[in-house]
Amino acid sequence: MGNPRFNLLALAACAAIWLALVLNAAIRARENPNSGREPIAAQQEIARFAKQALNDMQGRSFSSGKELCGLLLEDEAGDLSVSTISEGREADCDLPWVLPRGKFAVATFHTHGTFSEEYDSEVPSVQDLQADIDEQIDGFVATPGGRIWYTDWETKVASQVCGENCIAQDPAYRPDEQNPPAARYSLRELEKRQGIWE
């Protein structure tokens, strides 16, 4: 029979290595491995792909009351695909940053869940735009009213790709007559708008 002390030390070493690997993957899962990489696909094609992906996710997002998020990926030929879809919480979602081999992230995308008068969900949040800026990647956001927004990390501006009801709309949605969304917002303008809601 083997030495019990040696066996215990070997198991402890294996556990430490496993923990280090898990922690490394967890850290990588929150970072864009392709920061600042220029997409091969044309911007119009990426936007069209994002619109279809977000439209497909809206119903599930409304029924669960949670944000859904993912990444638009492309391969070395510029062919687009969608990552796994993560289910978040009512007002946030963790992106699946561990990417398949040979795939590159070209944009983030997420829904804003179901309509609620407690959230200014018809525009990207300050956190939405700031996260894309920090990760150096553009993004797309779908709202309960059926809008799609494009967040440009380089200009730090969010602009509407298409307006109310351009994709699936939450049946519970009610327009905000007091503070209707503008066509575009800088980060500072979003901060000012968010201040109204706090």
**Which CATH number do you get for residue 57?**
3.40.140
What pLDDT is stored for residue 25 in this prediction?
Answer: 44
Helix, coil or strand: residue 17: helix
Do the domain assignments include residue 40? Answer: yes
What pLDDT is stored for residue 90 in this prediction?
Answer: 80
Do the domain assignments include residue 80? Answer: yes
Do the domain assignments include residue 72? Answer: yes
Helix, coil or strand: residue 151: strand
Do the domain assignments include residue 188? Answer: yes
Domain encompassing residue 93: 31-197
What pLDDT is stored for residue 100 in this prediction?
Answer: 85
Alpha helices in 29-153 (DSSP H): 43-64, 126-135
- Name the domain count of the chain: 1
What pLDDT is stored for residue 71 in this prediction?
Answer: 95
What pLDDT is stored for residue 22 in this prediction?
Answer: 46
Q: Which residues of the chain have pLDDT under 50?
A: 20-29
Do the domain assignments include residue 11? Answer: no
Do the domain assignments include residue 22? Answer: no
Q: Exposed e or buried b for every residue in 167-190, given b needs 16+ CB within 10 A?
A: bbbbeebeeeeeeebeeebebeeb
Residue pair 143/172 in contact by the 8 Å Cβ criterion:
no
What pLDDT is stored for residue 8 in this prediction?
Answer: 66
Nearest Cα neighbor of 147 from 126, 132, 169, 131 is 169
Do the domain assignments include residue 124? Answer: yes
Do the domain assignments include residue 9? Answer: no
